[in-house]
């Protein structure tokens, strides 16, 4: 299978970078092909706007989706977006490797979603969730946190991690059609010592060795929703 | 009171821009002072990294929090961060005005949080949530959505909006010490026609006229958590 890893950390030699190394090694060893987009290294521009398209935009009322649609029709998306879209199309499985900053993606990775997952490519024209533009593929978050696991529970001070990650797992990945694998989380990675980090590395390698059969997060399917109200049928 | 509005839309003439106009007018009329950070207009850099500080960083192992701490101690944060931190310190109330992109903040605004809310300023050294660096202030989200309200409910296809916004309201704003006012949401703003948009404008103006007494989102306080496990006491 073809794996694309989106890597979003300012330092390649960080623990996030170590997890990236582990993934490249474990997946390659298992016979997969791995491509990496190291967003800091390629100086990825995360700011969606007029530079996303090469045609002349409506300056009076610039609306991103309208211009994205025009760009898809005319082939006038900017080169950096097309390059990433081609990698996504090539992939069977996408891994997002990042430190959880402010309970979400680092801005450089959020901007990747904003800019690369354009209407007409990832969604739109009736395509979303099960029928999203990237359906047929899987995706998974691999992240490090600042706080320990118990602080990310329903009774923990930060709130339940699955609810926190819902806006990414469901709102970004499932929305585009990906089946979403349960995330890998290295809790409090900076504070567990070398031994604790080694345990994370071993656990991650283990998960990757069986990645094809790893459990998916279960969401209702489009057919479970009333097509008029887009709320769950009784 | 001093209001700071963080505005994150590529176009000033958008409906988000109209809501910004309404806020400036209504708040000024009510005797408040308003300052705006128009992030697209000032070409705000949302990518947290080595350029956030002016001292020589540890290139072998760049860790953002460590470098932020050093920069706070030495006065070596970059000028654009200091400028925004000063605006935040001046403010009594911060409004985030943005289109909900991928169930979260546009990357340029996410990067504002990543870069400006540094350790030692917004949190750290025991300061977080109630005791966060910006405590004594209020904050509120004002946003537009693509989909209609019923799709953002517990049984709706996109999930419950309060749960979706939790990572921002609780994870970013409350974490830094803000008391968080219930958000203003213009549902499906692009699809409700001029009349529908006028209703949103009137409703928003209304909310702003009484903003000081608008209801807060209720979160447990620090004292409700066991200080050892940081989970809710029984």
Q: pLDDT for B18-43, tens place per residue?
A: 999 999 999 999 999 999 999 999 99
pLDDT at A32 over 90: yes
Instruction: Determine whether B125 is exposed, middle or buried from the number of CB atoms within 10 Å of its CB (0-12, 13-18, 19+).
Output: exposed
Which of the 8 DSSP states describes residue B77? B
| Residue among A107, A110, A232 minimizing CB distance to B155 | A232
For residue range A147-186, list pLDDT tens digits in order: 999 999 999 999 999 999 999 999 999 999 999 999 999 9
Nearest to A48 by CA among B131, B129, B9: B9
Quote the pLDDT of residue B55: 93
Percent share of chain B, pLDDT over 90:
95
| Residue among A61, A150, A159 minimizing CB distance to B229 | A150
Quote the pLDDT of residue A58: 79
Q: Does B78 touch chain A (CB under 8 A)?
A: no
Q: Which residues of B185-208 are buried (b: 16+ CB within 10 A; e: fewer)?
A: bbbbbbebeeeebeebbeebbebb
How close does chain B come to A31, measured CA to CA in Å? 32
**Chain B CA closest to residue A112:** B107
To which residue do tokens 């980090």 refer? Answer: A197
CA A106 – CA B46 distance, rounded (Å): 9
CA B137 – CA B115 distance, rounded (Å): 20
Nearest to B113 by CA among B160, B63, B176: B176
Q: ipTM more than 0.85?
A: yes
CA A173 – CA A217 distance, rounded (Å): 11
**Residues of chain B whose pLDDT is less than 70?**
none
Quote the pLDDT of residue B216: 98
| Contact state of A114 with B101 under an 8 Å Cβ cutoff | yes
Nearest to B89 by CA among B4, B198, B179, B192: B4
Quote the pLDDT of residue A13: 92
Q: Where does the pLDDT of residue A62 fall: very low under 50, low under 70, confident under 90, or very high at 90 and above?
A: confident
First to last CA, chain A: 39
Tell me the average pLDDT across A78-101: 98
Neighbours of B26 (CB within 10 A): 19
Q: Does B158 touch chain A (CB under 8 A)?
A: yes
User: Helix, strand, or coil here: A125?
Assistant: coil
Nearest to B8 by CA among B34, B48, B49, B46: B46
Pairing of strands B138-144, A33-38: unpaired
CA A6 – CA B76 distance, rounded (Å): 31
> Which residues in A lie closer than 8 A to residue B129 (C-beta atoms)?
157
- B200 strand-pairing partners: none
Q: Does B188 touch chain A (CB under 8 A)?
A: no
User: Quick check: pTM over 0.95?
Assistant: yes
Q: Does B157 touch chain A (CB under 8 A)?
A: yes
């Amino acid at each position: 299978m073809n794996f694309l890893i989106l890597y979003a950390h300012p330092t390649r030699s960080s623990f996030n970078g170590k997890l990236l190394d582990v993934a490249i090694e474990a997946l390659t060893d298992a016979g997969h092909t791995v491509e990496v987009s190291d967003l800091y290294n390629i100086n990825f521009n995360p700011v969606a706007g007029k530079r996303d398209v090469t045609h002349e935009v409506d300056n009076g009322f610039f609306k991103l989706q309208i211009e994205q649609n025009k760009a898809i029709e005319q082939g006038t998306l900017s080169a950096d977006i097309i390059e990433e879209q081609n990698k996504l199309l090539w992939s069977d499985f996408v891994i997002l490797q990042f430190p959880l900053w402010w309970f979400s993606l680092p801005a450089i990775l959020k901007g990747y979603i904003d800019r690369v997952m354009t209407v007409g490519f990832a969604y739109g024209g009736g395509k979303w969730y099960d029928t999203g533009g990237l359906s047929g593929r899987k995706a998974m978050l691999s992240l490090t946190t600042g706080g320990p696991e118990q602080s990310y529970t329903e009774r923990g001070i930060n709130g339940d991690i699955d609810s926190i990650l819902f806006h990414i797992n469901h709102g970004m990945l499932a929305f585009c059609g990906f089946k979403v694998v349960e995330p890998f989380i290295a809790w409090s990675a900076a504070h567990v010592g070398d031994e604790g980090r080694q345990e994370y590395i071993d656990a991650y390698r283990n998960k990757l060795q069986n990645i094809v059969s790893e459990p998916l997060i279960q969401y209702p399917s489009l057919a479970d929703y009333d097509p008029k109200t887009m709320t769950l049928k009784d």
